Structure 1
Amino acid sequence: MGCRLPTFSSLPAQKNFDLCRFLGIWYEIKFFKTEDVPDVWSDFVQSFDLQDHNKRRLIAYGQARSTTVKNCFPFGPMSLDASNGARMILITEDLKNGPIVDWPFLIIQTDYDNYALAYFCTSKNYKQNKPCEERQLKIYGRKTTLADKYLKPLIKYVNDHLCVSPGQLRTTVHSEKSCPIQRLKHFVQEGFKRSTIYNIIKRYENGLPIEDHPRSGRPPYFDRKNLKRLQHTAANRIGVTQRKLARKFGVTQPTIYYNLKKIGLKYYKRQKAPKYTKKQLQQIPKKCGNIRRRLTTKHTFIIVDDEKYFTFSNDDMPQNTGFYSFDKEHVPDNVKYKTKEKYPKKVLVWLSLSAKGISAPFIGTTKGPAINANIYIKECLSKLLAFIETYHFHDDYVFWPDLATSHYANEITQWLLQHQIKFIPKQVNPPKVSKARPIEDFWSILANKVSRHFVQTLFYHPLSGGKSIHDHETNPDLIDAKCLRQQMKERVINELTPISVIYEEEMAKTPLSDSATGTFPTNQELYQTFAKLRQKHLLALPQSSLFTIPDPFKLTADGKRFLL
């Protein structure tokens, strides 16, 4: 008597189906499809997880290899309704772009730890009380292979009850390097920590229970109540340090650091910002809106200008706030003390810029509170006019000065009107909008570069076109160290002597003082710099070359040929 196709309503499903135990990675061992499969996938693997923490919905991510493509590719994810236990409904094969199909999907047999038999119908408008014409079944395994003691009973059941002979079952090939399933990405998106996911996977692979049982040992001091207190004390407050918190809670500073990290609190440096009055906060949006709507269009170029004052002591820079010494009392006064003048000598740097470029700067010395109208007209606005004629002669532009008193003096406004330079009136100019003026960022970059090169030397004349004047004596130790380093550099470029040998020979030949020897870089500190320098100047060796060997040299002494 032949096998009779069963209906899905008459098929038994796994009794007492445990959905949580079924979750995880399943490898396809064998499969059957009624329709022809031109391209058989290999390394087929799926990961069944809860969808949005809902125990009635499953999501199945998949990875496989095609016969035409060597690399693994993802498919799905499938979405299944598990409200009725093992009698599931496959809602869609592709949750992102696929149509709703609502196919019956049965888990007929599974022991959760080794195998699972899934059977589903892909016929359109299928009724479960009738046999299915387009059907599929899959034999899953927790590993890429399934032992015969599990596989043979499943094949017999499929033959006897599902009318699929062993010859109709096709085997899924698994290579040594299986496709990595993207299970971690899904759980991270669900809000789980990476370390938690990895620990659970490792426990499962080692055959340990996934459930985390209560542990023995001393309970942590920072329970939920203390964590809430810590969060309330530290979050969005100024003047809070980890050491202060440690004293308040009676713990160590590393404990505070660990628990702040645990609750997700991070330390951020306060940003500098102008201090606004209530009147200014009301004026800024209105005035910026007026500039945007009335004075500019999308084709208007905005020209901004500003000046910056650079002092030569740079005592306020972070790298100049302290010094190293063996004895604080025996230190030169210019190092030990940070002097201050009411009106220190400084260099004035002015320039203007737009989206098309930067004007010629004005650099001059000044001693006093600020720039005045005469200097601004004579030295600055003349360069502004040249900049406009060079870059914006045919453009629609507007000049946007800041609200400094010298920028809106009567002589200044008359000069701008006389030369037909369109500018923003004072009554429309918004106060303290540094984010809208990119020149502020330019000054911060320039200030860092200036402080890097001019730390202590007071030579303000070179910047204004005069001669250098130094107020300190030349340091012979620095000159000797510089000459020694230059001599090493020349030998590294011109010789192939090992760098360490050059260093030892030059150090032995050059008589340095004790202080210069102590501050001179060591061989290890200079090695990488000199090695890169030598690599730049050495010619690259050829990888291969061709040459001809004369025939007499291709023969041995007795006349036999030994070279091809």
Structure 2
Amino acid sequence: MGRQITSNQELKRERVYNFYLDNRKKGKYFTYSHFKDEHIPKSTIYRIIDRAEKGIGADRVQGSGRIAKKMTQKNIKKLTLMFDHQDGVSQRQAAKEFDCDHSYISKTLKKKTQIRAMKKQKIPDRTDLQKKQAQTKCGRLLRKYKNHLWVIDDESYFTLSHSTLNGNNNYYSSDASETPPDVKFRLTKKFEPKLLIWICISPLGISQPYFQESGLAVNQNIYLEQCIKKRIIPFIKKYHSDNNYVFWPDLASTHYANSVTTFLKKKNINFVQKNDNPANLPECRPIEDFWSILKSKVYQHNWKARDTEQLQERIELCLKKLDKVSVQNLISTIPKRLDNIRRNGVVERY
């Protein structure tokens, strides 16, 4: 079995080498003419021919290339220490220190090290007490409601445009001066209109959404009347009449206002008590992922709304088209997420 070719350069060397051996009687120029249209340098072709003449093989001897002057092994180690597990470091500043172009720094990091640029992930700013309590409370919820279906609610803001989605903040042009203004500029307003949407989901379905213009806070009265009475109660009656469920709101003060908890108890709604509810733990609440899915649908292909009415219509349409099964399966991951925190605690590593 022959040696495995591992790169394009090795493949080219092997082809030129073997072609010359097969056509040696036709002369060196015949081989050069055959490969020159592939833009292989003339000097490279003749070097390979010379190797064939000497019978030393097509393989390049390791270490036979040009000796590195700026990025020596010592400097590569220094560069690695400068960048590995660090933030706020600049390739241009590194290039000045090593007296080379920043593109050479980028090339060295890519080819000579395992270091890659990665995007920072957002994590909650948790207190030490919250981290300590998370493990205990997740274990408590898991034991207490291990045979229940989870019903969770949340709210999120939608703007008329959403350029922070991947792809929506880029444009392509061969000449920026010729690009239309509506393509290369994004108009921003100091107070851009926003639309708040509240929704409740469980492994069995999605509730009717509640929409509210920005500027109006969802206080305990709005939450009780619009969310609890008009949407959560009908949702539970429709999908969870067997009472095999638990309603899990987040720890917002509005959600645990006396008027709200008193009504929930009066209606015999099984909900997570405030003392059992872990604080600042969005990784256990997959409704956060639900918002990402919905926003990617709403703002697909860089869609923009002219006003909040059009935005609401768009959101309602996207909600109808959502794959309900995948969304419901998302909610079904809650026990696994809780168990992960119970076992490992809050691991702030992604």
Q: TM-score range by the shorter chain?
A: 0.5 to 0.7
Aligned partner of 1:379 in structure 2 is 226
Q: Which amino acid aligns with 1:399?
A: F
Q: 2:122 aligns with which of 272, 276, 280?
A: 272
State TM-score, norm by structure 2.
0.65
Provide the C-alpha distance between the structure 2 equivalents of 1:326 and 1:212, rounded to a whole number of angstroms: 50
Q: What letter is aligned with 1:361?
A: P
Matches of 1:258 and 1:415, distance apart in 2? 63
Q: Does 1:427 align with 2:257?
A: no
What pairs with 1:391-430 in structure 2 (closer than 5 Å)? Answer: 391-430=239-278
Q: Displacement of 1:315 after TM fit?
A: 7.1
Q: Distance in 1 between matches of 2:152 and 2:80?
A: 45
Change in 2 beyond 3 A, CA 1:389/1:230:
same
Q: How far is the alpha carbon of 1:345 from its aligned partner?
A: 4.4
Q: Which residue of the partner structure matches residue 289 of structure 1?
A: 139
Query: How many Å apart are 1:380 and its aligned residue?
Result: 0.9
Paired residue type of 1:233:
M
1:263 aligns to 2:113 (yes or no): yes
1:267 and 1:315 map into 2 onto residues whose CA distance is 22
**Pairwise mapping of residues 184-203 of structure 1 onto structure 2 (< 5 A)?**
194-195=6-7, 202=14
Aligned match of 2:70 in 221, 237, 250?
A: 221
Aligned counterparts of 1:366 and 1:214: Cα–Cα separation in 2: 65
For residues 462 and 236 of structure 1, the distance between their equivalents in structure 2, rounded to whole angstroms, comes to 42
SS at match of 2:298: helix
- 3-state SS of paired residue (1:264): coil
Structure 2 gap ranges (5+): 19-51, 314-350
Q: CA deviation at 1:317?
A: 6.4
**Cα drift, residue 263 of structure 1:** 1.4
Deviation at 1:360, TM superposition (A): 1.5
Match of 2:79 in 1: 230
Q: C-alpha displacement at 1:376, in angstroms?
A: 1.0
Read off the aligned partner of 2:106 and give its amino acid letter: Y
Q: Please say if residues 130 and 279 of structure 2, whose CA atoms lie closer than 8 Å, have aligned partners that are also in contact.
A: yes
**Distance of 1:315 and 1:296 partners within structure 2:** 40
1:248 CA drift (Å): 2.1
- On the 8 A contact 1:312/1:460 being kept in 2, the answer is no
Residue 289 of structure 1 deviates from its aligned partner by 1.1
Q: Per-residue deviation at 1:307? A: 1.0
The one-letter amino acid of 1:443's match is W
Q: CA deviation at 1:357?
A: 1.7
**Larger relative strand fraction:** 1
Distance 1:214 1:241, change over 3 A: closer
Counterpart position of 2:295: 447
Q: What residue is the counterpart of 2:103 in the other structure?
A: 254
Q: Percent identity?
A: 33
Q: What corresponds to 1:241 in structure 2?
A: 90
Q: What is the CA distance between 1:450 and its match in structure 2?
A: 3.2
Q: Is the 8 A contact 2:196 2:214 kept in 1?
A: yes
SS in 2 for 1:309: strand
Per-residue CA deviation, residues 207-262 of structure 1 (Å, 9 max, x unaligned), is 53568275374544211100100100000111123223212211112211221122
Distance, in Å, in 1 between the alignment partners of 2:87 and 2:195 is 36
Aligned partners of 2:170 and 2:64: how far apart in 1?
52
Aligned residues: CA RMSD:
3.8
TM-superposition CA deviations, 1:299-326 (whole Å, max 9, x none): 3111110011223365766746999986
| Unaligned residue ranges in structure 1 (runs of 5+) | 1-24, 26-180, 185-192, 465-564
Choose which of 288, 302, 312 in structure 2 pairs with 1:463. Answer: 312
Residues 211, 373 of structure 1: CA spacing in aligned structure 2 closer, same or farther, 3 A cutoff? closer
Residues 353 and 359 in structure 1, CA contact (< 8 A), matched pair in contact too = yes
Q: Which amino acid aligns with 1:415?
A: F
Q: Deviations over 1:64-101 (max 9, x none)?
A: xxxxxxxxxxxxxxxxxxxxxxxxxxxxxxxxxxxxxx
SS at match of 2:269: coil
Q: In 1, are the aligned partners of 2:161 and 2:299 still within 8 Å (CA)?
A: no
The structure 1 residue matched to 2:158, chosen from 310, 313, 320, is 310
Structure 1 position 363, deviation (Å):
2.1
Assess if the C-alpha contact under 8 Å between 2:193 and 2:308 holds in 1. no
Q: Answer whether contact 1:314 1:451 (CA < 8 A) is retained.
A: yes
Change beyond 3 A, Cα 1:438–1:223? same
Counterpart Cα distance in 1 of 2:86 and 2:68: 29
Paired residues, number: 268
Ranked by relative contact order (alpha carbons within 8 Å, sequence separation 6 or more), the top structure is: 2
- By how many angstroms is 1:436 displaced? 1.2
* TM-aligned CA deviation for residue 198 of structure 1: 5.9
Quick check: 2:157–2:196 contact (8 Å CA) kept in 1?
yes
Alpha-carbon offset, residue 283 of structure 1: 1.4
Q: CA deviation at 1:394?
A: 1.4
**Retained in 2: the 8 A contact 1:307–1:350?**
yes
| Cα-to-partner distance string for 1:436-466 (whole Å, 9 max, x where unaligned) | 11110111222233344762512438838xx
Which one has a bigger Cα radius of gyration?
Answer: 1
With normalisation by structure 1, the TM-score equals: 0.42
